[in-house]
A and B are shown apart, each in its own frame.
Chain A
Amino acid sequence: MKRLATPNRLIAIILFFFSIGYVYIAFQIPAFTLRTPMDSDVFPKVLGIVMLFLAILLFFERDKEVEVNEEKETVTMKMQKKQVFFTILGIALYIFMFEIMGFILSSVLFVISTTYYFGYRKLLINVVVAVTVIMVLYLGLTKGMNIHLPKGWVPFI
């Protein structure tokens, strides 16, 4: 039986509603007080309408058929998807702690933990490389190029 909810169609529906929202917001953009041949809302309106039209075209576009071994996909892909999910969470936590803990601490912890999580088990090398690379980067950027990076909990550097 042919799948009705193909990826193209699902994305097309999302884009369709996105475009409607986009055009709606474009109509809320206030007009400029002086007369101008092309006001600020023209481009957004055109873009939104074009996207709407493209979403409709995408809805009717055929998805490329891909043969998948379903059993294999379930076991392997689930694990990899879980890894991607936890990596995203890890990056989010890293960003959250970036200014609080400071660049050095947050980056070193991030590198050590994610490297270990991705399967590299030589902890000593992991720690040495993480600390060295991060410190070189920090010193190079802050002292060499005067780019400020947050010190956080390591203010003495």
Chain B
Amino acid sequence: MEALDNLLYGFSVALQFENLIYVFIGVFAGTIIGMLPGLGPISALALMIPITFGMNPASALILMAGVYYGAIFGGSTSSILLNAPGVAGTVATSFDGYPLAKKGLAGKALAIAAYSSFIGGTISIIGLMLIAPLLAGFAVSFGPAEYFALMVLGLTAVVSLSDKSLVKGLIAAVFGIMISIVGIDLQTGTLRYTFGSTKLYEGIEFLIVALGVFALAEVFVMILNKVKKEKQLSIGSLKLTKQEVKEIAPPIARSSILGFFTGVLPGAGATIASFLGYSMEKRLAKDGNTFGKGNIKGVAAPEAANNAAAGGSFVPLLTLGVPGSGTTAILLGALLVMGVSPGPLMFQDRPDVFWGVIASMYIGNIFLLVLNLPLIPIFAKILEIPRAMLLSLIVVFCIVGVYGLSFSTFDLWFLLLFGLVGFAMRAYGFPAAPMILALILGDIMEKSMRQALQISRGDWMIFMHKPISLTLLSLALLSITIPLIRVFIKSIKLLKQGKI
């Protein structure tokens, strides 16, 4: 009852005309920015901070929350239409979203992404409102050992998606971690694999690898598959049949809940949530072998999960003052600049900010759906551009996206290198997903492992002694060994039948 009263108070703040305009601007700008590779929510939010100077903190946070949601959806649009994820949390969407677009079903994929994002976002807002204090308490109990175990689980879950070859999936994952540790080791100051180059001191940016391995490699693949004069396929209908709605409803529900709880964990964020959601649905689905070939559940699950995680990441930010993701770290910075200190006292001291943000997230979510569904045919016009022109424009967008990060052509050469790596991976059956996730998690994994060992004074058994860590590591082991056991049992059966 109290939550409802608070929410109504929040709506009274969020529904002020000025704040409605801010939500609209935020969602619209966020969507456009999210579509551009290299300009994800973090860049967009960072650029918004000076704009919010002098604004009421509630209004400023409302604007920035809109940008956050919008950017995540915008990233999905470029993932689906161009196989060029604009945002890390939308990489998993491209696995089935892009194949759907190639089949002439881009409209359906985008519509599913919009509905899934809306539902995922709504569920997470309800969760945020109802159980934020409880969840914050649990999140605090996650120490370094638990985080390490969670990262391992996230990685192994994704590796086990590579049903073509587990070994190749593991190789891709290990390679991703190898890339992630290039640069200065922040704990000791030691240089690792920089080969004397100062430009590698800060390591290799995720975006360079993602754009190279996905977008640029896709350009090479399209050229190789001889699509010279082909006209682009139409987007198809945006409408979903009753059967399709029935099919995607359970994955959306499950992935939203999974995404929300994952987003609550500081550091986990939308990326892990989307991969875990995808992985979970692939396992549960009867037609799991069609994932990666244009299965609508493969779009619904990660989209619901990443938007739910976006909402979940606000839990530690607003209740503890601890950002749940890189993006919420920027929001924290913005709040501090405005003189608002998020944390347990925020409930009492600034209820207008806290509940205003929650209410505006409901509104922002609705705006996202209302705004983006009618615009899908316009977004999908991108597909009607002649393929020859689209290929060259994709390259330009990738170049601009990477240059905008560091203003250095050195990174552009790396982009090309990873484009070639991605192309080779596609040609020889190495999955890119484990590599990308490992790249994001590698650094955090090492840091968590070290912190855990420092706490335990070098005792490696800490990972077994902590129940949550032990559970997560056991699940990770199962996710790798179960496919191997299945293959082994199948081989024995075939041997007995004399087929080998």
Contact = CB atoms under 8 A, between A and B. Distances in A.
A54 interface: yes
Contact of B389 (A76, A80, A115): A115
B283 interface: no
Contacts of A92: 416
B114 to A, nearest CB: 24
Nearest to A30: B190
B446 A43 contact: yes
Interface string A58-73: 1001001000000000
A37 B453 contact: yes
Interface stretch (B7-15, B359-367, B369-377, B396-404): B396-404
B388 to A, nearest CB: 4
Contact of A54 (B171, B387, B403, B446): B171
B399 A95 contact: yes
A87 B174 contact: no
Interface residues of B, number: 59
Chain A's interface size range is: 35 or more
Q: Which 5 A-B pairs have the closest CB atoms?
A: A118-B388, A37-B453, A37-B458, A120-B388, A119-B228
Interface string B259-271: 0000000000000
A137 to B, nearest CB: 7
Interface stretch (B150-158, B203-211, B218-226): B218-226
Interface of A: 7-8, 11, 15, 22, 25, 29-30, 32, 36-40, 43-44, 47, 50-51, 54-55, 57-58, 61, 64, 76-77, 80-81, 83-84, 87-88, 91-92, 94-96, 98-99, 103, 107, 110-111, 114-116, 118-120, 126, 129, 133-134, 137, 141, 145-149
Main secondary structure of the interface of A (DSSP, over half): helix
Given A80-B226, A98-B403, A99-B409, A61 B388 contact: no
17 contacts: A15-B171, A29-B190, A37-B454, A39-B188, A43-B446, A47-B178, A51-B174, A58-B168, A87-B219, A87-B223, A95-B412, A111-B393, A114-B392, A118-B388, A118-B392, A120-B388, A148-B407
Contacts of A115: 386, 388-389, 391-392
A80 B399 contact: no
A113 B185 CA distance: 43
Given A51-B174, A81-B224, A95-B412, A145 B47 contact: yes
Contacts of A55: 171
Contact of B400 (A50, A57, A141): A141
A88 B167 CA distance: 29
Contact of A51 (B178, B386, B413, B456): B178
A43 B181 CA distance: 9
Contacts of A39: 188
B346 to A, nearest CB: 31
